[in-house]
Amino acid sequence: MYNSILMNNDGAIEQIEIYIRTYRSLLKSAGFVNIDKLTDAHKDAGSILHEKGKSDKIDTAAFIYSLLRLPPVMSNVKKIILGQSIRVFKNNRFGHIDEWTEVTAPGRRRKMYFNGRDTLAVYIASVTDVDDLITLLTSFQIEWNKLHGKISKERDVKKAVENLLDPEDIFKIQKIWGDDYHKFLTAVKYRKIDFTVHLLSGSYMEYARATQHWWDHVDTTLPEIKFIDRPVYFVSSNSHSLVNLITRFALNHEKEIIEDLYKSKNETLINLWEKIEKEASGVAREYFLCYLSKKSLRQSNHLNQIKSSLESKLGIMTIPARHYLDIDVQIIPLAKLAQSGLADLLNLDLKPLTDSKSLIVNIDYPLGWAAYQVLTEIGQNVGKILGIYVMGKAATLNAQVGDILLPTTVFDVHTKNTYAIR
């Protein structure tokens, strides 16, 4: 979130730096920080994703942003433990976290475990994760406690919230919490939040070691590949993007996917599909089917088996993340691409690739500084890097569904460098 803070004048940058120095120095010196100590610096930083931080009004946009990037158990959490690897957790008497309940957040990929009472353990990949989590937790705490102050004495919390928030924002929160929406409101009513964050180790070596262990897991899972002898095309993208393009899975199983859509009774998605049908847009059709296929695959073992069989035939291997960075890896051999439908799509003869030893290594893109660590680690452990391809997007506050923002300028908060993109 704080990467989106306004940076158009020296005063704004100074406030950002004060904010960052405050929590980093506390974490480094004491090993922990109370989020309550950061709220003033957070508000003064003037994040464009938390514009009403100083206001008494509920900043529902900031609250929803945080809700989507933190697990639902946050209503019970008091203490958050950050560590780079299971070794770091074990060395600090938290070696049993794998026995805790694994929890997830819709808008962030992180390995997180809840002890069932009041403690959340989070694997972090780089200092970017620390920055991201601190600002999310601070924003969450500020807005939760605002709402708590307004409804703590109300008998009917649901009605009280309806008088406070716009119907559209209430709908978004209901969508996040589903059947537990009333439990969420009840928790807000009765509890004021005061998070404490513990950083078990903040050294660069621990981040580098965690990345090394992450790659070791990939290497030992597929010893027959012999990565050290293979030329590699490095790709950072969503794990479904290249596979959908190569296998055309979604397009070939349109019937089953659309049946699932109508069973879901999601009027918004159904209306979008019917609009695409009328416009007869082939490109939009496939993209939308790819999006829907993720939902169908979560519900259908049969479709999962078909997809796995198709990927296996093309030599596509997926190594799920474990213990360290929450980054899945896909290995796609170029030699098998001639057997896919990609040749027809590109109108190219791919048979010359049959003898290729090269691989596409696709990672489910990491957050911030971890991307550099991952690329460095892979570069040191493969035969040769033939190309680097990064697919991503920048967040935009004013847009419609499907819009893409392509930045022309990027400010690196770590090095203080500004990069112009042409």
% of the chain at pLDDT higher than 90: 53
Distance, in Å, from the CA atom of 338 to the CA atom of 350, rounded to the nearest integer, reads 5
pLDDT computed for residue 408 by the predictor: 81
361 membership: H or E segment, kind and range: strand 359-364
- Give the rounded distance of the alpha carbon of 226 from its chain centre: 30
Average pLDDT over residues 264-292: 83
User: Which one has a higher pLDDT value, 391 or 319?
Assistant: 319
In this predicted model, which residue has the larger pLDDT, 227 or 286? 227
pLDDT of residue 4: 46
The region of weakest confidence among 108-112, 186-190, 220-224, 313-317 is 108-112
pLDDT of residue 398: 60
**Total Cβ atoms within 10 A of residue 153:** 8
pLDDT-derived band at 3 (thresholds 50, 70, 90) equals very low
Residue 151 CA, chain-centre distance (Å), reads 31
Q: Which helix (H) or strand (E) holds 319?
A: strand 317-319
Q: Which is more confidently placed, 192 or 418?
A: 192
Which residue would you say has higher pLDDT here, 221 or 419?
Answer: 221
Distance between first and last Cα of the chain: 25
Q: Which amino acid is at 276?
A: I
Q: 166 or 344: whose pLDDT is higher?
A: 166
CA distance 62 to 142: 10
For 73, other C-beta atoms within 10 Å of its C-beta total 17
Encode 241-301 in three state secondary structure: HHHHHHHCHHHHCHHHHHHHHHHHCCHHHHHHHHHHHHHCCHHHHHHHHHHHHHHHHHHCH
pLDDT digits (tens, 9 = 90+) for 52-86: 989 999 999 999 999 999 999 999 999 999 998 88
DSSP 12: H
Percentage above 70 pLDDT, the chain: 92
DSSP string of 158-222, one letter each residue = HHHHHHHS-HHHHHHHHHHHGGGHHHHHHHHHH-----EEEES---HHHHHHHHHHHHHHHHHH-
- In this predicted structure, what is the pLDDT of residue 238? 82
371 versus 9: which is more confidently predicted? Answer: 371
| Distance, CA of 264 to CA of 404 (rounded, Å) | 27
Mean pLDDT (the chain) is 88
Q: Are 5 and 46 in contact (CB under 8 A)?
A: yes
What local confidence, expressed as pLDDT, does residue 5 receive?
Answer: 43
Report the alpha-carbon distance of residue 153 to residue 145 in Å, rounded. 13
pLDDT of residue 29: 85
- The whole-number pLDDT of residue 182 equals 93
Nearest to 367 by CA among 244, 141, 142, 207: 207
pLDDT category of residue 416 using cuts at 50, 70 and 90: confident
Tokens standing for residue 170? 């209430």
Reported as a pLDDT band with limits 50, 70 and 90, residue 400 is low
Query: How far apart are the C-alpha atoms of 256 and 261, rounded to whole Å?
Result: 9
Q: Is the pLDDT of residue 11 over 70?
A: no
Q: Which residue has the higher pLDDT, 48 or 105?
A: 105
pLDDT of residue 283: 62
Say if residues 264 and 318 touch (Cβ distance below 8 Å).
no
**What would you measure as the largest C-alpha separation in the chain, in angstroms?**
73
Q: Which tops the pLDDT comparison, 298 or 164? A: 164
Report the phi/psi class of residue 280: left, alpha or beta, with left for phi > 0 and alpha for psi in -120 to 50: left
225 pLDDT more than 80: yes
The pLDDT of residue 280 = 64
- Structure token pair of residue 176: 């996040």
pLDDT tens sequence across 23-34: 988 888 889 999
Segment 168-187 shows an average pLDDT of 92
The pLDDT score that the predictor gives to residue 403 is 63
Q: How far apart are CA 159 and CA 164, in angstroms?
A: 9
Where does the pLDDT of residue 202 fall: very low under 50, low under 70, confident under 90, or very high at 90 and above?
A: low
d(CA 195, CA 180): 22
Could you read off the pLDDT of 105-164 as tens digits, one per residue? 988 888 999 999 999 999 998 888 999 999 999 999 999 999 999 999 999 999 999 999
Find the range with the poorest average confidence among 9-13, 35-39, 124-128.
Answer: 9-13
> Which two tokens mark 319?
């190594």
The pLDDT of residue 121 is: 97
Query: Distance (Å, rounded) from C-alpha 207 to C-alpha 272?
Result: 43
Judge whether 161 and 185 are in contact, CB under 8 Å: yes
Q: What's residue 2's pLDDT?
A: 45
Q: Are 225 and 358 a contacting pair, CB within 8 Å?
A: no
| Contact call for residues 250 and 292 (beta carbons, < 8 A) | yes
The whole-number pLDDT of residue 16 equals 81
